[in-house]
Amino acid sequence: MTEPKAKILLEGGAAGSEFARLRAVDPGENVVKVLTGNRYEHFRRTGRTAEHEGVPLDVFEWSGNTFVAE
Binned at pLDDT 50, 70 and 90, residue 13 comes out as confident
Cβ atoms 58, 9 nearer than 8 A:
yes
Report the C-alpha gap between 43 and 7 in whole angstroms.
Answer: 14
List, for residues 26-60, the tens digit of each pLDDT value.
988 999 999 988 999 999 999 999 999 999 999 99
**Does residue 70 have a pLDDT over 80?**
no
pLDDT value at residue 4: 83
Report the C-alpha gap between 44 and 69 in whole angstroms.
Answer: 22
